[in-house]
């Protein structure tokens, strides 16, 4: 039987599998389940993924139609492409995801349960090892909640304390006042901390300037570049000219932006304005390429999820990612490298604390 292969041979075969296939391999037998969760195997598997990236063929995670997929992006100059490797199903086949946030190989996912007449839920997820951590709200979640995922900086990756920022900031016309709530959840302590802010508060540090000043209607989107850099995409709503900058340095209280990474007039190329709520993008500095995801097809429903490959000479490829039955389900893309980071599980109920 194939499960009786010697360990060295089995490892040589399994290390070449994509993340989406590991779940099936682990369920084949206890021997493979143990092997693929071993630290040495994890390092080899991540190294194999890095080799593929060096060939300009790298993996990204995309959210399409409330599902999360692992995709392969090939930046071959004359024929760039995106291929679907498989659906990430560690959360269960029935889980619909409305938002994803990536940090340190982990994803913060917001489930889209509104169409099932149930409330949204929040989960931290490592698709590489299948670990999940469902997070209960201090009181309740809200449709207008916004989130971020991060961690306390530590020298040893194993000591990182991952945290979730939840914020709600909107004007409630029924009571004629602004509702503003900030909370931080620590996975280590399994507790929510309420952050009381005023206009003078500097709890999160000063607001950091962008390299351009936007106007109402302009598209502004952020994307991560490796672990310690940010990229910002800016497109004017009237001229359709697009620019992308990459940060040279970013700290909690300061940021510096390098020269413009990409400047392209999109009007003669695609003739549309990237949606200010849905534009999602990645950049490759070596190839001087940006990949922008958006809804295409006249902004009507049904429409198409589309990826635009753009270089310094203009848009040189448009890839159809499939139809979208919901005009409010915008495609999202995140850079992704498999990570062996362990998600700390919740403590027993009697030890949980809220502040």
Tell me the per-residue pLDDT of 289-344, one tens digit each, with 9 for 90 and over: 899 998 875 555 557 888 999 988 777 788 888 887 777 778 889 888 778 788 87
Task: Tell whether 49 and 147 lie within a shared domain.
Answer: no
Q: Measure Cα distances from 280 to 63, 265, 305 in Å.
A: 11, 18, 11
Q: Is 115 left (phi over 0), alpha (psi -120 to 50) or beta?
A: alpha
CB 320 within 8 A of CB 309: no
pLDDT digits (tens, 9 = 90+) for 171-204: 888 888 888 889 999 998 999 999 887 655 557 6
Phi, psi (rounded to 5 degrees) for 351: -100, -5
Task: Tell whether 29 and 130 lie within a shared domain.
Answer: no
| Tokens coding 60 | 């990204």
Task: Tell whether 47 and 61 lie within a shared domain.
Answer: no
Q: What is the pTM of this model?
A: 0.75
Residue 210 pLDDT: 92
Task: Tell whether 51 and 159 lie within a shared domain.
Answer: no
354 bridge partner residues: 192
CB 125 within 8 A of CB 110: no
User: What is d(CA 21, CA 132) in angstroms, rounded to the nearest whole number?
Assistant: 18
Cα angle value 132/133/136 (rounded, 5°)? 145
| Residues in the chain, pLDDT under 50 | 115-117
Task: Tell whether 44 and 75 lie within a shared domain.
Answer: no
Task: Tell whether 334 and 278 lie within a shared domain.
Answer: yes
Task: Tell whether 216 and 286 lie within a shared domain.
Answer: yes
Any residues with CB less than 8 A from the CB of 35 and at least 6 apart, and which?
7, 10, 11, 14, 41
Residue 184 pLDDT: 94
CB 266 within 8 A of CB 241: yes
Domain total of the chain: 2
User: What is d(CA 147, CA 164) in angstroms, rounded to the nearest whole number?
Assistant: 7
Secondary structure (DSSP) of 103-165? ETTEEEEEE--GGGTS---EEEEETTTTEEEEE--SS---TT-EEEEEEE--SSGGG-EEEEE
Task: Tell whether 262 and 280 lie within a shared domain.
Answer: yes
Task: Tell whether 2 and 78 lie within a shared domain.
Answer: no
Task: Tell whether 61 and 51 lie within a shared domain.
Answer: no
Domain boundary among 34, 55, 76: 55
| Residue 214 belongs to domain spanning | 56-354
Domain boundary among 55, 76, 92: 55
Task: Tell whether 172 and 265 lie within a shared domain.
Answer: yes
Q: Which residue has the tokens 């009786």?
A: 4
Task: Tell whether 130 and 8 lie within a shared domain.
Answer: no
């Amino acid at each position: 039987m194939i499960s009786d292969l010697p360990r060295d041979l089995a490892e040589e075969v399994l290390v070449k599998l994509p993340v989406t296939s590991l779940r099936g391999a682990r369920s084949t037998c206890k021997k493979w389940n143990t092997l693929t969760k071993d630290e040495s195997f994890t390092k080899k598997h991540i190294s194999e993924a890095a080799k593929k990236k060096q060939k300009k063929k790298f993996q990204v995670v995309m959210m399409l139609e409330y599902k999360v997929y692992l995709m392969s992006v090939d930046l071959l100059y004359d024929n760039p492409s995106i291929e679907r490797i498989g659906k990430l199903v560690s959360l269960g086949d029935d889980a619909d995801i409305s938002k994803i946030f990536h940090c340190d190989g982990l994803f913060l996912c917001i489930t889209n349960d509104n169409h099932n007449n149930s409330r949204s839920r929040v989960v931290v997820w490592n698709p590489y090892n299948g670990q999940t951590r469902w997070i209960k709200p201090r009181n309740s979640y809200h449709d207008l909640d916004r989130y971020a995922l991060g961690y306390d900086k530590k020298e040893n990756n194993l000591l990182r304390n991952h945290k979730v920022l939840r914020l709600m900031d909107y004007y409630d016309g029924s009571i004629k006042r602004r509702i503003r709530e900030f909370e931080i959840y620590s996975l280590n302590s399994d507790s929510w901390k309420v952050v009381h802010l005023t206009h003078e508060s500097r709890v999160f540090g000063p607001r950091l300037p962008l390299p351009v000043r936007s106007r109402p209607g302009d598209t502004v989107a952020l994307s991560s570049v490796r672990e310690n850099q940010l990229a910002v995409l800016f497109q004017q709503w009237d001229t359709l000219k697009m620019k992308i900058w990459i940060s040279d340095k970013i700290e909690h209280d300061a940021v510096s932006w390098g020269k413009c990474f990409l400047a392209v007039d999109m009007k003669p190329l695609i003739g549309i304005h990237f949606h200010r709520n849905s534009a999602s993008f990645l950049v490759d500095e070596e190839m001087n390429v940006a990949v922008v995801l958006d809804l295409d097809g006249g902004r009507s429903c049904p429409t198409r999820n589309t990826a635009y490959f753009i270089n310094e000479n203009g848009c040189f490829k448009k890839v159809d990612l499939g139809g979208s039955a919901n005009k409010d389900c915008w495609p999202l893309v995140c850079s992704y490298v498999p990570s062996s980071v362990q998600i700390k599980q919740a403590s027993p109920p009697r030890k949980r604390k809220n502040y």
